[in-house]
Amino acid sequence: MSEISNTTSHSTADRESAAGRDDRLELRLWLRLLTCSTMIERRMRAMLRQQFETTLPRFDVLAQLERVSEGMTMGELSQRLMVSNGNITGLVDRLVEEGAIRRLPSQTDRRSTRVSLTPEGRKIFAAMSSAHAQWIDQVFAGVGREDKLRLYDLLGKLKGSARVSAGSSDT
Amino acid sequence: MSEISNTTSHSTADRESAAGRDDRLELRLWLRLLTCSTMIERRMRAMLRQQFETTLPRFDVLAQLERVSEGMTMGELSQRLMVSNGNITGLVDRLVEEGAIRRLPSQTDRRSTRVSLTPEGRKIFAAMSSAHAQWIDQVFAGVGREDKLRLYDLLGKLKGSARVSAGSSDT
């Protein structure tokens, strides 16, 4: 196992540039993780804008709804997107206006309206989703399959660890 | 090497919930990476708010400036934070008003003003930085040292791959 090395040069400054050689592995690891996710997210934003004139938050809402035929409540949607309810209300309103999603009145509770994709929304999303999968493939093209599986496993461990740490001291 | 498994349950829905069992490894990997970085970022935001009544973007600006005694231009700062220049102008203005950072007029170009930490800003950041490092340690507490080194290496490969893919087709 190699020791950590500084692969960041001045011409490619990023979030990792805040880590010094003497910083702890954990901090360097976090800044590298953040750099990767920011780079990939930024690329997805650019591609969605260029090729579909849409935004990442809109894509994310459609992606979550595509998984469930019965729709989901705003609470479920915000939990899955890991953002606050208020952040997606306006987004959902606009997607409803445009006909990509619709509100289904709940049979049990008027307050917990469900939203779901319309057939039109499902069609729009299918095209975006297929292109998005290709862009993601390109992002990972330089990482071998064994390394991808290893990375997937290690991120699973990190996710478990982060969840435990959040549960132990959040107020 | 284990095959990918779905560790997401309904009670812990997150960004990964948009991935189906039949989805490609690359997509599942991206959504897991995004889930990890979102969880950790959310936790840092919460802790900074609770313990220092400050925000993550403010912390990030101070963290970048802490590395360089000679300060940096707004362009350098926005590149390192991986956000647009416009996004940090207001932030920097407020930090200047509060006395945490100051503007240094450039000797060569009036337009490329540099910003740097004040002694007071350096003191404030030292306290936040030490707490932040502890929170990050907690987040990674459930991941062994060998796994952390492996993860660091694999994320380095991913970063290289993502950079190549961005360079090859960005317009």
Interchain contact, B26 vs A137, CB within 8 Å: yes
Give B-chain residues touching A67 at CB under 8 angstroms: 17-18, 20
pLDDT at A159: 97
Are B22 and A169 spatial neighbours (Cβ–Cβ below 8 Å)?
Answer: no
pLDDT at B21: 67
Of residues A29 and A107, more confidence is placed in A29
Are A115 and A23 spatial neighbours (Cβ–Cβ below 8 Å)?
Answer: no
- Is the pLDDT reported for residue A85 higher than 70? yes
pLDDT at B44: 96
Q: What's the rounded Cα separation, in Å, for the pair B66 and B58?
A: 12
- The residues near B82 (Cβ < 8 Å, ≥ 6 apart) are A14, A15, A35, A38, A39, A42
CA distance A110 to chain B (A): 23
Of residues A60 and A19, more confidence is placed in A60
Are B8 and B16 spatial neighbours (Cβ–Cβ below 8 Å)?
Answer: yes
The tokens describing A134, both together, are 């290709």
- Is the pLDDT reported for residue A6 higher than 60? no
Query: How high is the ipTM of this complex?
Result: 0.83
pLDDT at B110: 60
Cα B144 → chain centroid = 22
At A169, the pLDDT band (50, 70, 90 cuts) reads low
pLDDT digits (tens, 9 = 90+) for A102-129: 998 767 766 678 999 999 999 999 999 9
Of residues A16 and A107, more confidence is placed in A16
Give A-chain residues touching B150 at CB under 8 angstroms: 1, 150, 154
- The residues near A74 (Cβ < 8 Å, ≥ 6 apart) are A85, A88, A89, A92, A113, A115
pLDDT tens across the length of chain B (171 residues): 344 444 443 346 788 877 776 678 999 999 999 999 999 999 999 999 999 999 999 999 999 999 888 899 988 999 898 888 888 889 999 999 999 999 987 677 666 789 999 999 999 999 999 999 999 999 999 999 999 999 999 999 999 999 998 876 543
